[in-house]
Structure 1
Amino acid sequence: MGRLFDVRDTFTRMLLLNTSGILYLLLAPRQTGVPVSGLQWALAVAAFASGLLLHRRPPVNLLVQTTLFAVALRTLDDVTINQVGTAWTLGEMAVWAPRRRWLWGSVGMVAAVYLVFHRSGSLTENVVGLCINLGLPVLIGTVVRTTHELGVQAERRLVSEQRAARADERSAIARELHDVVAHHVASMVLRVGVAQHVLPGLDPKVAAVFDDVHRTGTAALADLRRLVAVLRDPEGVRGDAALTAIDPSALPAALDGAVETARRAGVIVEAEIDPAVGTLDAVRGLAVLRLTQEALTNVAKHAGPAARARLTITLDGGDLKWEVVDDGGGQVRATPPGGGHGLTGMRERVEVLGGVLSAGPHGNGWRVATRLPGETK
């Protein structure tokens, strides 16, 4: 029943109508005692074929059905099949018509054919029959169309309400990031900068650590500010490619930077990066960079500065293989504590691009890997 009243499923309705018409032609002689003539079968088959072949083109179908109806009115005593076919197609016109004048023009055409070619009955009977044959299908078609439009409007309203709710959530998150996280990061960056000036004569290794902390904190603060901008006004920053993508030519250098950052944190990183990553599309390029940064950060955090890690990024046809494996820093490494929000974010990023992230123990360490499919042509 749902498919019968689906605006788009014209084929099902026409198939049901044709089946009913065939049953009528087979059973009618038993009721009336009058056999179905060859011409009646010919006009019926033509109407059935037109309904099935032209079910997605209501104007053309209505023109064919009306022509067959006119022939039936002139030549047949029983015009039920062609009359119902014309009325049904008129109902489909009521569902389909992009403008009201299409529907009223169709109604006028069918009415003219009926009044001109109908051979029996008084004018009053013809007018009443015409009103029934035209009014009922137009009414049903209008009801189906109106129901569909109301459903679409309700769906749009629901989507709009969901968007408003998400906007409120983004605003709340943006406030927290700006007022709490960004504030503390800015404070740490400022204090590191002050320490560099008030502690002269530092050991070069200590000075290098201060420089790295200051540089990393500054970059994190810039990322936080861009993230806050996205949360507050996604539409306003949609054109800023820096927030959603990375220039493919800059990806190899960005990956090298992520590896160097992990090395400065003490992790021994072996990197095998396919030079062809510079040909990746911008979206997958950004995903690979973020996955690499998160995975190497997790190695430093959970396996310690004595850990060894291996980063492998290769292109296999159009697909990209990415993997980070560490040795656990000399001790058995369990599931990362803290709720695993980093892994959750990595998994969500990969799933958006059609991949699946695998993460779990690997020997004494941990392995995270994925395969990102190529762009769909």
Structure 2
Amino acid sequence: MVRQPWDAVRAPRLSPVPRLGMLTRFTDDRFAWLRLTLLGLSGVGYLVLRPHPEETYGAVDWVAAVGALALCPVAVRWPLAGSLGSSLAYLVGACFGQGDPVVPEVGSTWMLLELALRATQRHVVIGTAAVVVTHVVDIWPHLPGKFPNLVFDLLISAGLPLLVGSNIRASRRLARHAEHRATAEAQAARSDERAAIARELHDMVAHHVASMVLRVGVARHVLPATDPRVTEVFDDLHAGGTTALADLRRLVAVLRDPAADGSAYVPIEPDALPDALATTVDRARRAGLTVDATIDPAVTSLDAVRGLAVLRLTQEGLTNVAKHAGPSARATLTVRVNAGAVHWELMDDGGGAAVPTALASTNDGHGLVGMRERVEVLGGSLTAGATGTGWRLATVLPAAEDR
């Protein structure tokens, strides 16, 4: 199984938390107080400025307008109460007032939008019914002549807020689903990589335990007659080692994915690491990449765990350079050992193509989870990002005694 850690870095990905624009922030439930405050202020401004001064406002008109404005703070916590109250204020102003009840009408429309944004479906239906009833009652004496006016009023006062509110709620729901899916994918990637690391570590432990058991078994037969107590110790060591080896193999069998290629988890001996790295580089070159590799001969001093990590990082890194930068890309691989710590770096020129700005700022995709897990298990840290037209991936694996 080949894990490809740069997939999300190089390719567009679905963001777990979508970027919120100004409009989306404004329609968030937390800003209901701001929306309703602006609604109230706009109503006060309309009453103060009176764009139609020739229009007479009687006591009923003022009561309806002020009542609608007074419902703004109420609707912050109880949107259904605010919607029903605004519809009632509009009905009173329309039926008994002398002027055009603009403030209550706009208020009832906006309150219905608040319902569509924040309330349950049942409350939305109730609020919509109230708006429809008030408009029908208002225009009823003029029917059927003004039926087109009624349809237009309902489209604006009920249809528009419902459409906008439903669309925003659907967007929120999709964003939540995307976030949950992204979280699940990240957890799955983390779990898969931890399982892979566990399989590799246990394979290496099993390998060394098997060697110990073999040596103890040989010692029991080739050594001359010894003290029976020493023979008993050898027997105990052999029996205990055999049992431990069997347990480890059972554990590895449980951890290993039957569908995966078992060869991907075979541990590598330190002496074989330079040849394995050279083979990986040669394979990348045969695929068309130009690879400049500088590999410190001291990698033979690494323990099996860090040696395997270096090999996996190199394999996966070069695979993704070929995949994303293209066969014309040039890659530079540097592996050096300094004071027991491994410094590993892989850079490419991107094949000469510019790195898109949107991708250059992305360094936390799901594909990097596996590489980060592998490095962090060994006490290191992974850095990845754009460098000009290409990409750079680097890590430092500390010495075993520093972990």
Higher RCO by CA contacts (8 Å cutoff, separation 6 or greater): 2
Q: TM-score, normalised by structure 1?
A: 0.50
